[in-house]
């Protein structure tokens, strides 16, 4: 099944203990769509400025990603984020945010995409996420991400969004911030009362927790002996997860769990290099190999 | 197979966001031997003062734990630890440590215990741990724990201990501190070069990582909707792990992995109440039930 992803396209300036890169391709839509495209047909919605490089656009096209929803603002500049990580790669310190064209992004879903059955609303202003939802007819599955900024400053918009999505994908700190509960199981059950059927909690190097009313699934992350740049790990996870679900077109417990592990596999590759560099060279064989390695990693039969 | 555990017996004064308890039974030997005794015959070595309550002693005896190595110092006082936890229950803040009789503990292994095949050296001065090793003849498996204090102040003693043990069981911060490496996989491989065949990294609410030269095993922790007191979780884990191994008398990869999950199961019960209260009421049926729940929690077949 086809998956529509809406989110941000960015140029990132990133520094980690292992190096730095200036104005490299990033953004929630970039990472998630490139990851999802390994599994399902993907359409991408985002906004860029005139400075957006032809080769960056080509990257998505050559993966067969439908870019009819990629809007270019004449004379505009692409969203720019600058951040830094210490040895604890779990959290970025944001040094600078230039919203540029993202600040006035008012998403219009192209007619041809209004019946897309799978939807991933990557991190973006919840008002923009809802505007997309208003335009898509009867989506089968809607997953959404958000971030601390929206939880703090747009809580009412989020409260409107939550009953309209099936799956909320956020990190551990955001789960606590949104729910006001420290304990993650309690936090999860509280968030489920506000609408979503499923909460997926991203815990960085510690893995993922999935909470529904009936059950909890927990998986560690794939341990790596070198992590270069964690930027986009959460978006890559979500893209792999949503892409796998869309391909399977099945929300059974076992498929959802496999999708979570597949998302973790994709994220584990992504952090091995800066920007989208690792996703660019990644092959289906490597993905299959690491999925099997993940089974070996966690098996205790 | 019989398991000999040496460690501390303590009275703990503990405060968590959910309550507080004064001078309740604790110590690394208490938690680990009570947990291990669910699986294997256990002998306990530790030192207490004259203030050690008859009912606390009885607790071990009624579980069939061999207390011939439990030394009582006439006129002495039992080791006392006072600590506090915030909402982040992963780390305790130590407020006070009264070593008392533990300060001069010079372990003499009773003759009848000198051929015990399985040995767990719970957290204790590495010199005392080695003194036990000197007295036990050809142990089949030796596991040991340690803590930040010994890593900082007794590094040379630890360097002598490491080549003499098979399994080192420490937490994440201690793994980084001991190795000087932030990345856990790198840190683990470095520590293995110093002697142990296996490193088990306890990550609190995030689970456990096992690192050998050939492979890595990772498991999440069992998610709980209420954690009252994390004191002794690591010791309970280690006791359950070592007890399970001693019972199986087998160091195959699959048995070691099951032992890690069983240790995690035991720790998940222990944190549900203060002191050893939950271990006191725990049944084998409950343990079996949670082990099965752990499989369901992590299964993605």
Which chain B residues are Cβ-neighbours of A88 within 8 angstroms? 182
CA distance linking residue A7 with residue A1, whole number of Å:
20
CA distance linking residue B231 with residue B241, whole number of Å:
17
Note the Cα A270 to chain centre separation in Å: 12
CA distance linking residue A209 with residue A185, whole number of Å:
9
pLDDT band at B91 (very low <50, low <70, confident <90, very high): confident
Contact A160, A129 (CB under 8 A): no
What pLDDT is attached to residue A87?
84
pLDDT band at B182 (very low <50, low <70, confident <90, very high): very high
Mapping DSSP to helix (H, G, I), strand (E, B) and coil, where does residue B46 land? strand
Higher pLDDT, B158 or B92: B158
Which chain A residues are Cβ-neighbours of B252 within 8 angstroms? none
Q: Which of B16, B191, B205, B218 to mutate to test the interface with A (most CBs of A within 10 A)?
A: B218
Contact A225, A234 (CB under 8 A): no
What pLDDT is attached to residue A269?
98
Note the Cα B289 to chain centre separation in Å: 22
A52–chain B nearest CA distance, Å:
35
Residue A265 CA: distances (Å) to CA of A17, A259, A282: 23, 10, 11
Judged against a pLDDT cut of 90, whether residue A92 lies above it is answered with no
pTM, two decimals, is 0.96
Helix, strand, coil tally for chain B in percent (to 5): 40, 25, 35
Q: Model confidence over A31-73: pLDDT tens digits?
A: 999 999 999 999 999 999 999 999 999 999 999 999 999 999 9
For the segment B85-93, the average pLDDT, to the nearest whole number, is 84
Contact A125, A154 (CB under 8 A): yes
For the segment B284-296, the average pLDDT, to the nearest whole number, is 98
CA distance linking residue B9 with residue B11, whole number of Å:
7
CA distance linking residue B93 with residue B83, whole number of Å:
5
What pLDDT is attached to residue A254?
97
CB contact under 8 A, A297 and B226: no
What pLDDT is attached to residue A151?
97
CB contact under 8 A, A225 and B185: yes
CB contact under 8 A, B300 and A207: no
Q: Please name the helix (run of DSSP H) or strand (run of DSSP E) that holds residue A167, with its range, or none.
A: strand A167-171
CB contact under 8 A, B300 and A219: yes
pLDDT band at B254 (very low <50, low <70, confident <90, very high): very high
CB contact under 8 A, B298 and A218: yes
Helices (H), A183-283: 184-193, 233-248, 253-270, 277-281
CB contact under 8 A, A257 and B186: no
What pLDDT is attached to residue A189?
98
For the segment A23-37, the average pLDDT, to the nearest whole number, is 98
Q: Which one of B219, B225, B300 has the shortest CB-CB distance to A183? A: B225
Q: Which residue has the tokens 């884990």?
A: B237
Tokens of B238: 């280690």
B298–chain A nearest CA distance, Å:
5
Judged against a pLDDT cut of 80, whether residue A90 lies above it is answered with no
How many beta-carbon pairs below 8 A join chains A and B? 90
pLDDT band at B223 (very low <50, low <70, confident <90, very high): very high
Higher pLDDT, A63 or A87: A63
Residue A85 CA: distances (Å) to CA of A89, A93, B289: 6, 6, 42
Q: Which residue of A has its CA nearest to B216?
A: A297
Which chain B residues are Cβ-neighbours of A185 within 8 angstroms? 223-225
Contact A217, A242 (CB under 8 A): no
Judged against a pLDDT cut of 90, whether residue A111 lies above it is answered with yes
Q: Which one of A88, A220, A227 has the shortest CB-CB distance to B220? A: A220
Which chain A residues are Cβ-neighbours of B185 within 8 angstroms? 223-225
Q: Model confidence over A249-297: pLDDT tens digits?
A: 999 999 999 999 999 999 999 999 999 999 999 999 999 999 999 999 9
What pLDDT is attached to residue B90?
76
Q: Model confidence over B99-158: pLDDT tens digits?
A: 999 999 999 999 999 999 999 999 999 999 999 999 999 999 999 999 999 999 999 999
Which chain A residues are Cβ-neighbours of B295 within 8 angstroms? 300
Contact A71, A33 (CB under 8 A): no
pLDDT band at B87 (very low <50, low <70, confident <90, very high): confident
ipTM of the complex: 0.93
Q: Which one of A88, A184, A301 has the shortest CB-CB distance to B254? A: A301
Considering chain A, what percentage of its residues have pLDDT values greater than 90? Answer: 96
Contact B260, B200 (CB under 8 A): yes
**At CB < 8 Å, which residues of chain B contact A?**
87-88, 182-186, 189, 203, 206-207, 209, 215-221, 223-227, 254, 257-258, 260-261, 295-301
CB contact under 8 A, A219 and B215: no
Q: How many residues are listed for chain A in this entry? A: 301
10 Å CB burial of residue A5 (0-12, 13-18, 19+) is buried
CB contact under 8 A, B260 and A298: no
CB contact under 8 A, A218 and B220: yes
CA distance linking residue A295 with residue A300, whole number of Å:
10
Judged against a pLDDT cut of 90, whether residue B88 lies above it is answered with no
A106–chain B nearest CA distance, Å:
39
φ/ψ of residue A16, rounded to 5: -125, 170
Considering chain B, what percentage of its residues have pLDDT values greater than 70? Answer: 100
Judged against a pLDDT cut of 90, whether residue B92 lies above it is answered with no
Q: Please name the helix (run of DSSP H) or strand (run of DSSP E) that holds residue B296, with its range, or none.
A: helix B284-298
Which chain B residues are Cβ-neighbours of A227 within 8 angstroms? 183
Q: Model confidence over B34-57: pLDDT tens digits?
A: 999 999 999 999 999 999 999 999
Sign of CA dihedral B202, B207, B212, B213: negative
For the segment A201-223, the average pLDDT, to the nearest whole number, is 97
Q: Which residue of B has its CA nearest to A182?
A: B87
Considering chain B, what percentage of its residues have pLDDT values greater than 90? Answer: 96
Which chain A residues are Cβ-neighbours of B297 within 8 angstroms? 216-218
Q: Which of A171, A223, A258, A261 to mutate to test the interface with B (most CBs of B within 10 A)?
A: A223
10 Å CB burial of residue B67 (0-12, 13-18, 19+) is middle
Judged against a pLDDT cut of 80, whether residue B275 lies above it is answered with yes
CA distance linking residue A265 with residue B193, whole number of Å:
29
Q: Which one of B182, B185, B221 has the shortest CB-CB distance to A223? A: B185
């Amino acid at each position: 099944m086809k998956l529509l992803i809406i989110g941000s396209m960015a140029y990132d300036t990133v520094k980690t203990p292992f190096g730095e890169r200036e104005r490299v391709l990033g953004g929630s839509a970039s990472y998630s769509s490139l990851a999802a495209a390994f599994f399902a047909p993907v359409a991408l919605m985002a906004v860029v400025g005139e400075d957006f490089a032809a080769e960056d656009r080509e990257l998505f096209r050559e993966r067969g990603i439908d870019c009819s929803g990629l809007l270019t603002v004449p004379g505009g500049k692409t969203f720019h984020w600058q951040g830094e990580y210490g040895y604890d790669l779990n959290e970025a310190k944001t040094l600078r945010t230039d919203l540029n064209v993202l600040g006035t992004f008012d998403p219009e879903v192209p007619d041809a995409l209004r019946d897309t059955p799978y939807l991933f609303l990557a991190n973006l202003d919840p008002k923009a996420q809802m505007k997309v939802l208003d335009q898509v007819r009867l989506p089968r599955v809607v997953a959404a991400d958000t971030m601390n900024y929206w939880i703090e400053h747009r809580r009412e918009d989020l409260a409107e969004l939550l009953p309209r999505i099936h799956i909320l994908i956020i990190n551990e700190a955001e789960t606590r911030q949104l729910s006001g509960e420290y304990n993650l199981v309690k936090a999860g059950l509280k968030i489920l009362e506000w609408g979503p059927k499923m909460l997926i909690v991203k815990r960085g190097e510690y893995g993922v927790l999935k909470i529904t009313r009936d059950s909890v699934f927990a998986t560690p992350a794939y341990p790596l002996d070198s992590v270069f740049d964690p930027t986009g790990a959460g978006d890559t996870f979500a893209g792999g997860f949503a892409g796998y679900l869309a391909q399977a077109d099945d929300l059974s417990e076992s498929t959802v769990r496999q999708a979570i592990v597949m998302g973790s596999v994709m994220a584990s590759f992504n952090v091995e290099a800066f920007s989208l560099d690792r996703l660019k060279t990644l092959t289906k064989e490597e993905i299959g190999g690491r999925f099997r390695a993940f089974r070996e990693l966690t098996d205790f039969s």
